[in-house]
Structure 1
Amino acid sequence: MTRIISEAETMARLPDFYWSLERYHAAIKAGVLTENDKVELLFGKLVPKMPIGVSHGKAVKKINRVFNRRLPEDRYTIGVQDPITLIDDSEPEPDLHVAKGPLEAYTQHPRPADILLVVEVADSTLATDRSVKKLNYAVAGIEEYWIINIYEHQVERYIGPDSAGGTYATREVFKTGDTVTSLHLGAFAVEELLIE
């Protein structure tokens, strides 16, 4: 049994296969990766996406409804679990994002210069959203990142990306009764963004 454990540990240390953005897109185009492959590209690695639970799905739908009521479609494009193309061979699929301009203006996935806000809804994904996802968005220079924290009933707002440090200069926490004012999208009552 010891030999098997030792060999398994050796295998776990083998280098991972690096996926460039071009290779990732080619695999999708060729049908090697399909919508049934629940993965996203982060820093050149294919990372499994967590299954969406009832609370998570309900929160995404609620926020999408709020954004669609408030943000005119001729000025904004709202993505729901759609890819955004970042630097460092990353193409995450955040729960929501808001990009400049109408949908018709996009012939490719939005890039950092297009993106006004990225939102992740966090339940079982909270640790990843506060670490790897935050790092990914900060390195790419995403100006504003929100985590809708289901279990702690709060909105975490990150602004002032430090690309070199991979973090944000400011983290603010908003609870029920508070108002979150986005850099580009106006003010939102926390109750509008949280589920009961």
Structure 2
Amino acid sequence: MTTALVQPPLGRVTSGRATTRDFHWTVETFDRAVDMGVFREPKRLELIHGRIVEKMPQSSLHANVVEFCASCLRSAMAPRFRVREEKPIHIAFDGEPVPDVALVRGQLLDSHQPLPQPADVVLLVEVAVSSVDNDLGEKALLYAEAGIEDYWTVVVEEGVVLVHRDPTPQGYASVATLGAGQTVSPLAAQGVTLAVGDLLGVSG
């Protein structure tokens, strides 16, 4: 889930369209600005293709579906993989998105452990309630460019999960649409079957 662009290179963060003051952020400059207290609410920001984007406040529907997805994955995939909810990943030199759910390799052993990188990520999930265009557009392209092999978009209003696979620099070559009566298996664990209805929080 993502919303408005936030673009000033220094000072107060504002929401709105890109302007002539556009500044191409890197993870390094973004993290430095966060440490300096430049942003009022850094936890609501993510870095997408060098642009700072502010995440919308969550509706109860969005929050609940995120919880359903995380719970399903945690029950099926732990302890082999770790489930992260709404936490950043370091995906490119100018990309630090905050996916709704990420399934990553390894355990958290140290508070100073680096953020997960593409090689650590086995599955990303975005829940789309009001952010369908972005989650299927720029977010999908960002994840494909980084080589994320398994990306699911949970389109709540349509009651489907779009499974994106075969990443290329131009986007995902394969996108399958699965409804509430169907099942899906993460690429990292083909023997694990999840009910799409459980991810959506509805009965089949």
Counterpart pick for 2:124 among 118, 121, 133: 118
Letter matched to residue 84 of structure 1:
I
Report SS of the residue matched to 1:78: strand
Q: Secondary structure at the match of 1:103?
A: coil
Q: Measure how far apart 1:57 and its partner are.
A: 0.3
Q: Classify 1:110/1:37 alpha carbon distance in 2 versus 1 (closer, same or farther; 3 Å).
A: closer
Cα distance change of structure 1 residues 37 and 67 upon mapping to structure 2, 3 Å threshold: closer
Q: Which runs of 5+ in 1 are unaligned?
A: 1-10
Aligned to 1:3: none
Residues 158-169 of structure 1 mapped to structure 2, 5 A cutoff:
158-163=164-169, 165=170, 167-169=171-173
Say which SS state the counterpart of residue 95 (structure 2) adopts.
coil
Match for residue 20 of structure 1? 26
Once the two structures are overlaid, the 10-residue window that deviates more, 13-22 or 122-131, is 13-22
Is this contact kept in 2: 1:28–1:34, CA < 8 A?
A: no
Q: CA deviation at 1:195?
A: 2.5
The TM-score with structure 2 as length reference comes to 0.84
Cα distance, 1:31 vs. partner? 2.1
Higher CA-based Rg: 1
Whole-angstrom CA distance in 2 between matches of 1:161 and 1:15: 32
Question: 1:103 Cα deviation (Å)?
Answer: 1.9
Unaligned runs of 5+ in 2: 1-16
CA contact (8 A) 2:34 2:42 kept: no
Shift of 1:34: 5.2
CA gap of 1:12–1:136, structure 2 versus 1, over 3 A, is: closer
Partner AA of 1:158 in structure 2: H
- C-alpha distance in structure 1 between counterparts of 2:161 and 2:24, whole Å: 34
- Which residue number in structure 1 is paired with residue 105 of structure 2? 100
* Structure 1 pair 116–80 and aligned structure 2 pair: CA distance change class (3 A): same
- In structure 2, the CA distance between the partners of 1:93 and 1:37, relative to structure 1 (3 Å rule), is closer
Deviations 1:5-53 (A, max 9, x none): xxxxxx9651401211101111122222354562210011111112211
Q: Which residue of structure 1 aligns with residue 65 of structure 2?
A: 59
Residue type of the alignment partner of 1:120: E
2:39 is matched with which residue? Answer: 33
Given the alignment of the two structures, is residue 47 of structure 1 paired with residue 50 of structure 2, yes or no?
A: no
Distance 1:169 1:14, change over 3 A: same
SS in 2 for 1:184: helix
Matched, 1:172 2:176: yes
Q: Report SS of the residue matched to 1:62.
A: helix
Partner of 1:190: 196
1:128 to 134, 148, 168: 134
**TM-fit CA distance, 1:91:** 0.3
Give the secondary structure class of the aligned counterpart of 1:104: coil
TM-score by length of 1: 0.87
Detail structure 1 runs of 4+ shifted over 6 Å in the superposition.
Answer: none
Determine helix, strand or coil for the equivalent of 2:73: helix
Contact 2:74 2:82 in 1 (8 A): no
